Amino acid sequence: MNLDWSPEDKAFAADHAALLERELTEDIRDAGRHATSVYPDHEASMAWQLKLNAAGLAAPHWPVEHGGKEWSVAQHYLYANEKAKAGAPSLSPMGIHMVAHVIAAFGTPEQKDYFLPRILTGEVFFCQGYSEPNAGSDLAALQMSAISDGEDFILNGSKIWTTHAQEANWIFCLVRTSSEGRKQQGITFILVPMDRDGITVRPLTMLSGETVQNQVFFDDARVAKANVIGEVDEGWRVAKYLLEFERGGSAYSAGLRIRAQAIEKHALAQMRGDRPYHEHGDFAQRLARAMIRIDVLEVLELKLLSSAGRGQSVGAMSSLMKIMGTELAQHLTELALEIAGPSGSVFQPHPTRPGADIPDYQAPEDGYVSGETWQAIAPLQYLNERAGSIYAGSNEVQRNILAKAVLGL
C-alpha cells in the first residue's frame, strides 16, 4: 500500500480545505471546536449538514446512485482529515452513517426513494433503537415485542441509551416478532415514526450533565409492516451489517490526531522553563506513544477503507477499529485532563458547546471561566468518552468477536 500522496491527492485536499473555509460559519466552527463529546450542538450540526448537502458532500461515502462520490480511499481519508483540521462539527451518525447503508443494501425501491434523499436533507432524522434495559452488549436478548395485527405491528417495550431521541422524527428498531429458535432468530428490523401514539421519550442525564441519551417507551404503538427493512424475523443479519458501520465505518485517526496535536500545544504552553516539554517527566512519553498508536490506527483504517472500496465487507475488523479508536479517544481525554490542571476539575459547561441541554445548570452571571475554554471542555470530554468503550457493543465483546472470527478461538 503506497502511503505517499500524489499531486492529484494534494490538489484534492487543498480544494476541499478551501471549500470548508468558505462554508464554515463562525458559529458552526465554534460548535465543532468547543464540542464536549462526539455529538456536537444539534442545531449547528444540522445547519452544517444542510451546507454540505448543498455542496454534494453530506454523504460522499454512500453509493454513487444515492448521492455518494466516486472517490478513492485516499480522497475519503483526506476529506475526513481536512474536516478535522477545519474544526467542522460531526454530523449525527444514526441516519447518514448507519441506517442509510442498511436501507441502501436491504430496502425496497420505495424505501430507498423515500428515506435516502430525506436523510441527506435532514428532513428525516433518525435515532437508534437497539439497546434495552436488559439487552445491551447481549443485544440478541432483546424483548421489545412486535405483534402482528393486519397490515401493522403493535409495539410494546422500551429502548434505552437512545441518542437524540428528543430531536428525531424516526427511530430504527430491532423488535422481537417470534420467540422460536435461537435468540438471534425472530428479530425484525423496522423503521418507526416517532410521532405515533404510544411512544414516550424520557431524557437521561449523563455523567457530563448532558441529556443526549434517552429512554423510549412503546405502549401499543402501531407501525406499518411496510416499514420492515429486509425480511420479518431476519433482522439479525441486517443489524449485524449496520453494526459494521457503527463500529468501524468511519475513520477515527484524523480527528484523534488533531486532538493529540492540541494537547501537545496546550502542554507546551503550560510547561515552564527553557527545556522542551518532552524533557518534563513521562507526560511527553505517554503523549508520544499515543501519537504512535494513532499512526498505527491510520494505517489499519486505510487498509480497511481500501477493502471496503473494493466491495469487501469490513466484517470483524470493524471491531478492531472500534476498540482502538475508542480506547485512544479515552486516553487522550485523560492526558488533556491531566494537563488542564486544577481548572480541569471545575464543572463549567457555559463556555463550551454541549451536545444537549444540561438541566438545572446555572452559568455565572459574569460568564467567569476558571482557566481557558479548552480547560472547561477537558472534564466534559473525559466524562463523555467513558461511554466510548461501551456503546456499539462493549470492547470486551469486540475482543470476543476478534478471538472467534479472526483467531478461530
Q: Is 385 a catalytic residue?
A: no
* Cα–Cα distance, 101 to 117 (Å, whole number): 13
Please give the angle made by the CA atoms of 368, 374 and 375, to the nearest 5 degrees: 65
Angle between helices 395-405 and 317-340 (to 10 degrees): 150
Beta bridge partners of 200: 217
Contact 352, 34 (CB under 8 A): yes
List the grid coordinates of 226: 411496510
265 phi, psi to nearest 5 deg: -60, -45
Q: Which of 246, 298, 301, 385 is catalytic?
A: 246
Q: Are 221 and 196 in contact (CB under 8 A)?
A: yes
Alpha carbons 283 and 359: distance in angstroms, whole number: 36
Question: Grid coordinates 430491532 are at which residue?
Answer: 174
Cα of 241 vs its chain's centroid, Å: 16
* Rounded-to-integer distance, Cα 153 and Cα 21, Å: 48
At 33, list the grid cell.
471546536
| Concatenated DSSP letters of 23-80 | H--HHHHHHHHTBSSSS--HHHHHHHHHHHHHTT-S-TTS-GGGT-----HHHHHHHH
Cell of 102: 442498511
> What angle do the packed helices 7-23 and 73-86 form, to 10 degrees?
40
Catalytic residues: 246
